[in-house]
Amino acid sequence: MDISNDQVEITAPSNNSTLTITNVNFSWESIHDAEQYKLQIATPSFEEANQVVLDTTIIATGFIQGLSTGDYQWRVRAENSDYQTVFTTQSFSIEE
């Protein structure tokens, strides 16, 4: 099934949010006919990445990752055996 025109709806952390916890719960809505999700986290952004903190493929619609204080961007896309969506990208910060 072609999912390439679908877009992953992010639920948390929301865009430009500021968090005070370091164990971040990333979550998003499922895409019908998706078999897995590609999740990536970079600091401070993908365009100016000092570090790609995470690059993983999972079947769930959520993932918990421990992070240090700082600025981050994260993105997720849905995938199946034949198609993938575009990445949905959002930014957030972690403060003490």
CA-CA distance, 61 to 2, in Å (whole number)? 19
Three-state SS for 94? strand
pLDDT-derived band at 87 (thresholds 50, 70, 90) equals: very high
pTM above 0.85, yes or no: yes
Average pLDDT (74-91) is 98
Check if the beta carbon of residue 85 is closer than 8 Å to that of residue 78. Answer: yes
Note the pLDDT tens digit of each residue in 4-46. Answer: 999 999 999 999 999 999 999 999 999 999 999 999 999 999 9
In whole angstroms, how far apart are CA 17 and each of 5, 7, 28, 35?
27, 21, 15, 29
Task: Output the pLDDT for position 6.
Answer: 98
Q: What angle do CA 24, 16, 6 make, to 5 degrees?
A: 80
- Go through the domains of the chain in sequence order and give each one's CATH number: 10-94 (2.60.40.10)
